[in-house]
Amino acid sequence: MKISNKRVMVCGAGGFIGGHLVQHWLQQGANVVRAVDVKPLDQWYQLEEGVENLSLDLRERDNCFGVTHGIEIVFQLAADMGGMGFIENNKALCMLSVLTNTHMLMAARESGVQRFFYSSSACVYNGEKQKEAQVTPLKEEDAYPALPEDGYGWEKLFSERMCRHFQEDFGLETRVARYHNVYGPYGTYDGGREKAPAAICRKVIQAKTSGDHSIEIWGDGKQTRSFMYIDDCLKGTLAILESDIQEPVNLGSSELVTINQLVDIVEEVAGVKLKRRYKLDAPRGVNGRNSDNAKIRQYLGWEPSIRLRDGLAKTYAWIESQMLSPVAT
């Protein structure tokens, strides 16, 4: 299925990935007619002209049914979430995103939506398989037996199952991607919801400009992750949406680094070397997480490949421009 001539709606369009999706689909010639987010329009990261931009709470059933009328393709990215500091301390808020996913699936079925894309997360994976920093890359089947990230991961896994059963029982074509740590420009870098790449960039910029050449790192810095640049995320999302893949599939880089190595790269980009202070009682998540990309290569003949160093350079430059602009100061 090609979406270029379809009526498209992006839910969570005021957020980081959602904002990039709207912009990307417009550039690709897609007929994006509606963009929805709970945030007021002046708080959206990217706001595109020529699109019906709506500030609505999609946890409310009536809002979901209202915005889905006349839509053929739904990208459902709306969720109350953030980095590890947020999801470890807001489990109930993360779980309440199940209302958005439930009502959007019901509305999509009622409105005759042709295809429904759901953004899941690597947080669905069994924690027992993520105890070692030198983790074996996670295969899709490693989500079961279920022991996901408490709160956020459970909600994501449950919503994956809803997508599966709405397809089996009602014929709603659903596509599910498990995102692994997406980063890039035009996203949050402070306030408590930011993820590690943006947080590290912010901290390095603050250290460099303040003259206090030290940085606080959550945990011991030895925990490992892979990070996917936004351009790879967009390409993979569209490919999965248009594909015949009827099961959840990993969408993430397989370039594994420690948090210490992540700091090394940002320091190199910034041209600075900082003293490290480790906050061992801070939220740190699992010890290791990486994406096994065998299945996406099998299905699409492609996998995310943008080097972390290249993506971080662009991310750092954007965050620096925001932090050092006259408006920011």
Structure tokens at 308: 């972390």
Q: What's the Cα-to-Cα distance from 189 to each of 45, 83, 138, 224, 311, rounded to whole Å?
A: 11, 10, 27, 20, 15
- Residue given tokens 């290791």 in the structure block: 288
Count CA atoms within 13 Å of residue 69 on its CB side: 5
Beta strand pairing call for 115-121 and 73-76 = parallel
Which has the closest alpha carbon to 108: 152, 149, 58?
58
Contact 311, 229 (CB under 8 A): yes
- Which of 152, 186, 189, 229 does the annotation list as catalytic? 152
- Residue 329 has a pLDDT of 43
DSSP string spanning 45-102? S---TTSEEEE--TTSHHHHHHHHTT-SEEEE---S--SHHHHTT-HHHHHTHHHHHH
What's the pLDDT at 328? Answer: 53
User: What confidence score (pLDDT) does residue 85 get?
Assistant: 78
For 254, residues 6+ apart whose C-beta sits below 8 A from its C-beta are 137, 226, 290, 291, 292, 293, 303, 304
For residue 66, give every residue at least 6 positions away whose Cβ sits within 8 Å of its Cβ, in sequence order, or none: 56
User: Radius of gyration (Cα) for the chain, nearest Å?
Assistant: 19
Q: Tell me if the pTM is above 0.85.
A: yes
The HSE-up count of residue 304 (CA atoms within 13 Å, CB side) is 35
Instruction: pLDDT tens for the chain, 329 residues: list them.
Output: 676 678 999 999 999 999 999 998 888 777 888 999 999 999 999 998 889 999 999 999 999 999 999 999 999 999 988 777 788 889 999 999 999 999 999 999 999 999 999 999 999 999 999 999 989 999 999 999 999 999 999 999 999 999 999 999 999 999 999 999 999 999 899 988 898 999 999 999 999 999 889 999 999 999 999 999 999 999 999 999 999 999 999 999 999 999 999 999 999 999 999 999 999 988 788 899 999 999 999 999 999 999 999 999 999 999 999 999 876 54
| Catalytic-residue membership of 118 | no
Residue-level pLDDT at 288: 94
Q: What pLDDT was estimated at residue 1? A: 67
